[in-house]
Chains A and B, each alone.
Chain A
Amino acid sequence: MVKDPDDIIVRTVARFMIPIIQLFSLYVYVHGHISPGGGFQGGCILAASFILISLAFNIGEAKKILSGRKNLLFIGLGVFIYAFTGLVPLFVQGNFLDYQHLSQFLPLDPVMARYYGVALVELGVQITVMAVMISLFQDLVTAGRHESILKDRENGIDR
């Protein structure tokens, strides 16, 4: 099964790379308005940093930062942010996902309301994609038994 790699080079490089990867994912998300990028890509890169923690250290280290419960919350939260941003215009007689009506709640003109509406929606996509990728990785790699594998390793049983 998943063994702890005991490699100081891998761990040191991972320690340097993880903040850079996370910063780059935010850059890809924010810069998605101007260059290629956006929520899907940024979310995948953000998930890659957590997967790198799981590979270089172990899944327990990744779960210390983002526990399974929080991750499950994030899976739903992203879709909620997207759908809620779409629902808000309905209260002021706009259409679903017609972001220009957000200008009545925010100090923005309709064009910039669409600009920032897209940013909000991409944030939702980013959160969901990140959480789903992490959850898929953890479940597929450990066949859905991360906790018991970690417990077995503490007790000296190697699988």
Chain B
Amino acid sequence: MRVNFTVNGRPQEADDVWEGESLLYVLRERLGLPGSKNACEQGECGSCTVRLDGVPVCSCLVAAGQVEGREVVTVEGLADYAKQRAEHGGCASGACGTSLQDAQQWAAKGQDSQTGEGTELSPIQQAFIDAGAVQCGFCTPGLLVAADEMLERNPNPTDADIREALSGNLCRCTGYEKIMDAVRLAAARQSEGV
């Protein structure tokens, strides 16, 4: 079957989709967006977290056919998504967004990938780098999407709020303390308007 939906603000079309296929598979294997990670395939780990009509969900548990006509934001589009939100309160015109090609080639390309300098990053991505919250990096995309959504909803989270918002994302390097630091940092920068 064919599925038409919006990915990172741009209309996309996926062909020859098997009816039992997950949104995660469509994103990774049909659209070439491997940012959302495939790990447990049962909603336990959160590494495939994306926004579906604004709401964080495990893309491995969404049937491809269920996203027909709906909007998905993946980690590849997070920088632009956060920018639009900060500058215009969202993308109403449809002129923004991240093209499939840009999303496929997305990498922290700036002058220095270690510090993120010169790269278009969302505040939460920059905070993860600055706080040293990335170890093996496999859980990072899911955590970024979940944390970004929480900061959008709750600009001044308590530690308990952060823990709850990220409770569906597992880090098997167990680097949770640095992840907490990163989210606190992003929240602090957001409230200072940095």
- A and B co-occur in one complex: no
